[in-house]
Structure 1
Amino acid sequence: MENLTSKQQQFYQSLVSFFQKHLRLPSHREAAELNDFKSANSSVQYHRALVKKGYLKKDGSENYTFTSALDIWPGNKPASTIPILGEITAGAMQEAIESDMGQLTFKYLFPNTENIFALRVKGMSMKDLDITDGDFVLLSQTEIRDGDIGAVLYNDETTLKRIHKEENSLRMEPANPEYDDIIIVPDEAEEVRILGKYVGHMNEQGIFKSPY
Structure 2
Amino acid sequence: MGKLTNKQQQFYDTLITYVRKHFRWPTYKELAGRLGFSSENSITQYYNALVSKQFLKKDSQGNYTFTNPTDVWMTRDEEQGSRSIPILGEITAGTMEEAIEADLGHITIGDFFPNASNVFGLRVKGDSMKDLGISTGDKVILSKTELRDGEVGAVLYDGNTTLKRAHMRSDGVRLEPANPDHDDIIIEPGEFEEVRVLGKYLGHISEDGLVKASYN
Could you state the TM-score of these two structures normalised by the residue count of structure 2?
0.76
Q: How many angstroms does 1:168 deviate by?
A: 2.7
Which residue in the other structure is 2:71 paired with? 71
Secondary structure of the equivalent of 1:187? helix
Equivalent in 148, 151, 168 of residue 154 of structure 2: 151
The yes-or-no answer on 1:80 pairing with 2:44 is no
User: What's the CA shift string for 1:175-196, capped at 9, x where partnerless?
Assistant: 2233332222263596122221
User: What's the CA shift string for 1:126-146, capped at 9, x where partnerless?
Assistant: 122111111111111111110
Which residue in the other structure is 1:10 paired with? 10
Deviates more, 1:173-182 or 1:103-112: 173-182
Which residue in the other structure is 1:130 paired with? 133
Quickly say closer, same or farther: Cα 1:192–1:74, change in 2 above 3 A.
Answer: same
Where does structure 2 lack aligned partners over 5 or more consecutive residues? Answer: none
Deviates more, 1:63-72 or 1:128-137: 63-72
Which residue in the other structure is 2:97 paired with? 94
Deviates more, 1:154-163 or 1:143-152: 154-163
Report 1:1-212 matches (<5 A). Answer: 7=7, 9-20=9-20, 21-23=22-24, 33=32, 35-36=35-36, 39=42, 40-49=44-53, 51=54, 56=55, 58=57, 65-73=65-73, 77=78, 79-185=82-188, 187=190, 191-212=194-215
Larger proportion of helix: 2
Secondary structure of the equivalent of 2:48? helix
Q: How many angstroms does 1:47 deviate by?
A: 4.4
Secondary structure of the equivalent of 2:214? coil
- 2 CA distance for matches of 1:19 and 1:180? 27
Where does structure 1 lack aligned partners over 5 or more consecutive residues? Answer: none
Secondary structure of the equivalent of 2:190? coil
Identity %: 51
Aligned pair count reads 205
- 1 CA distance for matches of 2:123 and 2:159? 16
